Amino acid sequence: MAFNRMASATYLASLLAKGFSRALQERGQKLGFAPGQFPVLLELWSEEGLTQKQLLDRLDIEQATMANTLARMERDGLVTRRKHPSDRRSQQIFLTERAREIEVAAKEAALAAEQSLLSGFRRFERELMLEYMRMALANTARNGDVS
């Protein structure tokens, strides 16, 4: 049985994710963040003071990956960690002033990356694609493929 990768949703989704990551990397690098850091930034722009465990739960990232991402973000001056006031075992993560200052530009960079990937799409085609992507993600979660 021949496998046609260009007829495979799994393969195409992987290529699309790589394309978005590259497009965001080009734009984010100028602002001082990496694509893997963007989801963490989004969560912290929405609510600061989260613990690593809370970020793990919200973003569905492996613990080791999250620890490395936060360490890089701390090194790059995007976040700081403080002892949790009521749980001595955990730390809360806060944005630095630098991270707060790039919020608008970073979100604009992500939108520009998305627009570059979806250029030539008519509005309804873009909306349909996003709806189909949400449906596929719901299916993977329902089938246990994504937690």
Residue 144: its pLDDT value, please?
A: 73
Each residue's pLDDT expressed in tens, for the chain with a length of 147 residues: 788 888 898 899 999 999 999 999 989 999 999 999 999 999 999 999 999 999 999 998 899 999 999 999 999 999 999 998 998 888 999 999 999 999 999 999 999 999 998 999 999 999 999 999 999 889 888 887 655
Helix, coil or strand: residue 145: coil
Distance separating alpha carbons of residues 49 and 83, to the nearest angstrom: 10
Domain ranges (residues) in the chain? 14-142
Residue 141: its pLDDT value, please?
A: 80
Taken as a whole, the chain contains a residue count of 147
Closest CA to 52 of 93, 89, 104, 17: 93
| Cα Rg of the chain (Å, integer) | 18
In angstroms, how far apart are the furthest CA atoms of the chain? 59
Residue 146: its pLDDT value, please?
A: 56
Q: Which residues pair with 11 in a beta bridge?
A: none
- 54 Cβ neighbours under 8 A, 6+ residues apart: none
* pTM for the model: 0.85
To the question of domain 14-142 being in CATH 1.10.10.10, the answer is: yes
Strand boundaries in 58-141, DSSP class E = 79-83, 91-95
Distance separating alpha carbons of residues 21 and 34, to the nearest angstrom: 9
